[in-house]
Amino acid sequence: MKKILFATSEAHPLIKTGGLADVASSLPRALLKRGHDVKILLPAYASVVAKANEAGVKKVAELSLSGQTINLLQTRLPGSRVTVILVDIPQFSEREGNPYCGPDGSDWSDNHWRFFVFAKAAEAIALNQANLDWQPDIVHCNDWQTGLIPALLAQHEQKPASVFTIHNLAYRGLFSYQIFAELGLPNDYWHHEKLEFYGQMSFIKGGLAFANAITTVSQSYANEIQTPEFGCGLDGVLRARRDDLSGVLNGINMDEWNPGADKLIAHNYNRRTVNQKIKNKTALQEQLGLPVNEAIPMLGFIGRLVDQKGIDLILNQMNQLLTHDCQIVILGSGFASYEQALKNLAQQHPKKVSVTLGYNEAFAHQIEAGADIFLMPSVFEPCGLNQMYSLRYGTLPVVNAVGGLRDTVFEKPFDDIGSDGNGFVFHEATAEDLHAAIKRALAAYQQPEVWKQLQQNAMSQDFSWEKSAERYEEIYSAITA
């Protein structure tokens, strides 16, 4: 049994902007189930405090840092027995909306301070100096918001081992030298092998330089980030630490994303009753005002509308795609230019394209259940969850062969699908290659036997957290041995 402090800036269902929240909820639960003593450390954002109040929250400690009082609150992750410690400062708890940026989409100007304080709270807990009477064996950090934790811990002799997991290397947590000086970090940390990144300070480098083990969320992404193409300028650091870097594929929450019991969808179905899936498509067509027709293939997309997700590839092949008999259902939010372009498309083609802007968990489930084909043409994708949800729902994914997409989706010739073929894969991130893969998907859809076989393969895959949790256990053991 290990005592694990799991530091994260998001955890579903308390706060979520992306896949990190899903991981930070599922992995601690899986570790708890396997007998470990896990506590999640999370910022006390306003929306989190509101939800925590429903579950019960109490103040358990108070720290002080440069005149700033930090309250530590304790609650539970709703629907589980996992303890959550909230780091409560006004800069977290008195602000509504997105955890990282204001209503205009630009980062909160004091993000460096907010996540520095968060790291200091983690440091105090890790060293058993937070009056919690609990010291972890492992501090598991996630993404740039927690990058300073291993760096702070490195200053101490007696400290827990640290793991740093990269969920997305593109967010490096960059700030000026002036901020580095203001935070009072050790002078020798201003070095390219520590926190300095081409004249700026990078929070994520704290994790990459100082953690005992580095992991990322798929084996392919672990390889890719050691190359200049995918390394975001950090490939050199990662190559230098290749012996400490491993890829562990994320699992998914198999209870929440289960077409057999999903309460958010119109009709439940499973692998044996997959022919019932079509009722979800007609329900969605009705709901969205699209022509109701079982035979028309429906393509779905859910995700952040940012460059990473290949939205421009989707847009650039849209004219060709619209020549086919199909419907396209999109849910997402992000860059204003993508939102506008998609809205325009939906207005021009109301019988074929439906675009919903915003974040909507229930609707995401309905698209996964209703669509036949799921588009995920990401330019890079550390792991990706939506393609795994799609596979589980028998909604066959069309993906670019990068990161976790490459590790979970496999295309085989129609006459040799075997037990592996479960989707459609292209290898160059271009609109032409995406369109060619969509055409192969549409052709397969016209062959019911082929389609059924692909769906059976997809729905048979095991994406439970058990395997991944076991891998993390091995890593924890190796660094505490």
Give the interface with ligand ADP as residue ranges (CB under 6 A). Answer: 18-19, 22, 302-304, 331-333, 359-361, 364, 383-386
Residues 100, 106, 107, 108: is their CA dihedral positive or negative?
Answer: negative
Question: Is the CB of 134 or the CB of 171 nearer to ligand ADP?
Answer: 171
8 Å CB contact between 150 and 193: no
d(CA 224, CA 235): 9
In the complex, what is the shortest distance from the CB of residue 359 to ligand ADP, in angstroms, rounded to a whole number? 4
Q: Residue 134 CB: number of other CB atoms within 10 A?
A: 15
In the complex, what is the shortest distance from the CB of residue 404 to ligand ADP, in angstroms, rounded to a whole number? 8
Question: Is the CB of 151 or the CB of 399 nearer to ligand ADP?
Answer: 399
In the complex, what is the shortest distance from the CB of residue 300 to ligand ADP, in angstroms, rounded to a whole number? 11
In the complex, what is the shortest distance from the CB of residue 358 to ligand ADP, in angstroms, rounded to a whole number? 6
Question: Is the CB of 63 or the CB of 169 nearer to ligand ADP?
Answer: 169
CA-wise closest residue to 380 among 407, 403, 411: 403
In the complex, what is the shortest distance from the CB of residue 333 to ligand ADP, in angstroms, rounded to a whole number? 5
d(CA 167, CA 171): 9
In the complex, what is the shortest distance from the CB of residue 303 to ligand ADP, in angstroms, rounded to a whole number? 5
d(CA 330, CA 324): 17
CA-wise closest residue to 308 among 373, 389, 404: 404
Residues 6+ apart with CB under 8 A from 229: none
d(CA 159, CA 376): 41
Coil, strand or helix at 467:
helix
Question: Is the CB of 214 or the CB of 383 nearer to ligand ADP?
Answer: 383
Question: Is the CB of 79 or the CB of 291 nearer to ligand ADP?
Answer: 79
Question: Is the CB of 19 or the CB of 423 nearer to ligand ADP?
Answer: 19
In the complex, what is the shortest distance from the CB of residue 170 to ligand ADP, in angstroms, rounded to a whole number? 9
Each as own residue / partner, the long-range contacts of residues 240-246 (CB below 8 Å, 24 or more positions apart, any chain) are 240/193, 241/208, 241/214, 244/211, 244/212, 244/213, 244/214, 245/214, 245/215, 245/216, 246/213, 246/214, 246/215, 246/216, 246/219, 246/222, 246/471, 246/475
In the complex, what is the shortest distance from the CB of residue 98 to ligand ADP, in angstroms, rounded to a whole number? 13
Question: Is the CB of 376 or the CB of 417 nearer to ligand ADP?
Answer: 376
Q: Which secondary structure element, helix H or strand E, spans residue 301, and what is its range?
A: strand 298-305
Residues 6+ apart with CB under 8 A from 424: 373, 396, 397, 398, 399, 409, 411, 437, 438, 440, 441, 444
In the complex, what is the shortest distance from the CB of residue 25 to ligand ADP, in angstroms, rounded to a whole number? 11
Question: Is the CB of 22 or the CB of 224 nearer to ligand ADP?
Answer: 22
Question: Is the CB of 208 or the CB of 364 nearer to ligand ADP?
Answer: 364
Coil, strand or helix at 64:
strand
8 Å CB contact between 26 and 14: no
Question: Is the CB of 388 or the CB of 441 nearer to ligand ADP?
Answer: 388
In the complex, what is the shortest distance from the CB of residue 379 to ligand ADP, in angstroms, rounded to a whole number? 11
Nearest residue relative to ligand ADP (C-beta): 19
d(CA 142, CA 164): 6
8 Å CB contact between 370 and 296: no
Question: Is the CB of 62 or the CB of 361 nearer to ligand ADP?
Answer: 361
Residues 223, 228, 233, 239: is their CA dihedral positive or negative?
Answer: positive
In 170-279 the beta strands, taken as DSSP E runs, fall at 174-175, 196-197, 200-202, 213-216, 245-247
Write out the two tokens for 47: 């929306």
In the complex, what is the shortest distance from the CB of residue 169 to ligand ADP, in angstroms, rounded to a whole number? 12
